[in-house]
Structure 1
């Protein structure tokens, strides 16, 4: 893989090549990507989607939206710093093609901003709830109707693949979705493969999948334009990661490691004493003890430690990325950047404490259980209604339920797979509160 191709400004539907030197410096194409994501309806819905604590009533806790904004800020820094070093190593990118270090920052920031855009309500349990309905619930009736790969798309419903669908899929009057640059789409794709074979290798890019069967042709075009190296065998679609994906992933890893921990402290699930004990190991070389001791309020002390810890991990991630740049370009770097971190032990300690005190807290578990029931019931009602319509056997109740769907999700002229997948994507688009509201109506609890 080579940087000139990987930094493609091409967008869906382009008939002419976009040249970096011809870009308007006041409104770069990669910066347009960021704007398109942030103004999209799918991004706005993240303001009421769970990051860690479902349906939290406190302002302390991050939502998917605040998390995504923070990841984009960290990603921008990672991209800019890495971009500066890459241009020093490959001066032709600047001298011949006109790329600047800000381009790298803009690509990573836009991809990082969108990284959770396809995630369902109720956190990662939402993904599992959608999959479980089709794997072991009433949705299992579709197994013999779908191809093996189509069924795998559904039972392993993946927010990353749904995110790619949201960003790229053509709807009536909206060709190519948000029409992001292919460089940003490539950086967004953490798992550039289809759902089967499942985990064919231990490579980080094969850990999950990133594209539904419905969107394969689109992604093959993106991968070809970017020059991503193919890794699939026997006709299966899989590619090496875009190098900047490693920076998007690192930004996410850094933020959820530090900020989920901070949320736990703010909620009183983790003692503040742990903040000093655990975070000091990350910031011991940069902390100003006198300044820290002068901070009277817990939130100020936490903010100071958080900023230092994030800065420490940014520097570490950049060092790893640059040290392994050629391996990454060759498709030979098979782990996340932070797996190579010199602070890996400290990161794992923080994550383990967050798992014990936050992710497995009674409040989280109880709300995740409720989320399973809510998502299963909504899926059951809508898939039944839509499939009955397709088979011309709709009841009056079916027709009433379909009338409550946004127009783009009412279509039943396509395959059973497309109907089911689109219904899953509708459920995934719901905010936590909207899902609860719809479920209350279905259950007759709200008029």
Structure 2
């Protein structure tokens, strides 16, 4: 793979090549990507979607929106630092093609901003709830009516693939979705493969999947334009875009440190115990006098958090540049922080978060509620979508159809498309709107 292709400014529907040296520096294409994501309705709904603690009303606990903004900031720093080193190593990118350091930061920032845009309500339990409906619930009946890959799309409903659908799916008045640059879409795709085969290798790009069957054609177009290396031609699996490693690292850094911080602020992790682990991570950069002068838990945690994020950013950049050749050849098979010298400290912090935060009573109780809400919504809307396909609409189905927004298109031509349309609709709901809709269809007054 080569950087000239990987930094493509092309967008859906372009007939002429977009050259970097001809870009308006006051309205750069990669920065337009960021704007389009942040002004999208799908991004705005993240303000009321679970990050770790579902339906939390505590003002200092992160939602998907605040998490995404923070990942984007970290991603921008990662991109700019890598961009500076890449341009020093490959000066023709700047001298001939006109690429600048901030281009790399803008691409990673936009992709990082969008990285959770496809996540359904109630955190990762929402993904599992949708998948369970089709793999072990009422949706099992559709297995014989779909191709194996179509059925797997539903059984392993994946927020990353759903995000790619949201960013690229055409609908009336919005051809090509948000029409992001292909460079940003490439950086967004952490798992450039279909849902099957499932985890065919231990390569990081095979950990999950990145596109539904409904977006296969779009995915192939983006991958080919970017010159992504083909890893499995038969199953249409590609190597990652190099900048996807930075998007992943930004996410890893934020959820490692900031979910831990949320646990401290919620009182789920003891302060003294927690700060000891953070200090282990930043022992080489901490100013002990400054730290000793801090009087509140919030100030101490904030100081250590900032140092920890800075430490891990520098570490990720170093690992990326030391492995650039392997990354460009598609042979770097792990996440950047998975080979970090701080791997042990990161693992300790994550293990504590899993035990004290992710598996806390509050989180588990509300994830169970989320499961029931999504199961209830799917039971009603999926049944109606199936009846539309089979031309067997009941009077109740006709009422259900009136609840759906005009953007949800159901027909009698494709059962798979109908089911995906319902999953997309439900996935876009905020936690509160999902609860409200659930109560409505159950006939409850709020």
TM-score, normalization by structure 1: 0.99
Partner of 1:354: 353
Partner of 1:431: 430
Indicate yes or no: 2:294 matched with 1:286: no
Count residues with an aligned counterpart: 446
Superposition deviation, residue 289 in structure 1? 1.2
Indicate yes or no: 2:249 matched with 1:254: no
Whole-angstrom distance in 2 between the partners of 1:245 and 1:413: 38
Superposition deviation, residue 324 in structure 1? 0.2
Superposition deviation, residue 114 in structure 1? 0.2
Name the SS of the counterpart of 2:238 in structure 1.
coil
Name the SS of the counterpart of 2:144 in structure 1.
coil
Partner of 1:152: 152
Instruction: Describe how 1:106-117 pairs up with structure 2 within 5 A.
Output: 106-117=106-117
Whole-angstrom distance in 2 between the partners of 1:20 and 1:4: 10
Structure 1 residues 273-282 or 140-149, which shifts more?
273-282
Whole-angstrom distance in 2 between the partners of 1:2 and 1:231: 16
Partner of 1:29: 29
Q: Is the 8 A contact 2:108 2:184 kept in 1?
A: yes
Superposition deviation, residue 411 in structure 1? 2.1
Partner of 1:204: 204
Partner of 1:409: 408
Q: Is the 8 A contact 2:126 2:374 kept in 1?
A: yes
Indicate yes or no: 2:46 matched with 1:46: yes
Superposition deviation, residue 389 in structure 1? 2.5
Partner of 1:214: 214
Q: Which runs of 5 or more structure 2 residues have no equivalent in the other structure?
A: none
Indicate yes or no: 2:91 matched with 1:80: no
Name the SS of the counterpart of 2:267 in structure 1.
coil
Q: Is the 8 A contact 2:390 2:412 kept in 1?
A: no
Instruction: Describe how 1:4-153 pairs up with structure 2 within 5 A.
Output: 4-153=4-153
Q: Is the 8 A contact 2:389 2:414 kept in 1?
A: no
Whole-angstrom distance in 2 between the partners of 1:343 and 1:386: 49
Superposition deviation, residue 396 in structure 1? 1.6
Superposition deviation, residue 386 in structure 1? 2.0
Superposition deviation, residue 36 in structure 1? 0.2
Instruction: Describe how 1:156-305 pairs up with structure 2 within 5 A.
Output: 156-233=156-233, 235-305=234-304
Whole-angstrom distance in 1 between the partners of 2:33 and 2:273: 39
Superposition deviation, residue 206 in structure 1? 0.5
Superposition deviation, residue 82 in structure 1? 0.2
Q: Which runs of 5 or more structure 1 residues have no equivalent in the other structure?
A: none
Whole-angstrom distance in 2 between the partners of 1:49 and 1:414: 33
Whole-angstrom distance in 2 between the partners of 1:165 and 1:322: 31
Partner of 1:376: 375
Whole-angstrom distance in 2 between the partners of 1:17 and 1:363: 52
For 1:159-202, what per-residue CA distance to the aligned partner results, in whole angstroms no more than 9, with x for missing partners? 00000000001101211000000000000000000000100110
For 1:121-176, what per-residue CA distance to the aligned partner results, in whole angstroms no more than 9, with x for missing partners? 00001000000000010011101000000000000000000000000011012110
Whole-angstrom distance in 2 between the partners of 1:114 and 1:216: 19
Partner of 1:443: 442
Superposition deviation, residue 276 in structure 1? 2.0
Name the SS of the counterpart of 1:77 in structure 2.
helix
For 1:214-260, what per-residue CA distance to the aligned partner results, in whole angstroms no more than 9, with x for missing partners? 00000101011100001114x21100000000000000000000000
Q: Is the 8 A contact 1:386 1:410 kept in 2?
A: no
Superposition deviation, residue 410 in structure 1? 4.0
Whole-angstrom distance in 1 between the partners of 2:379 and 2:17: 46
Name the SS of the counterpart of 1:280 in structure 2.
helix
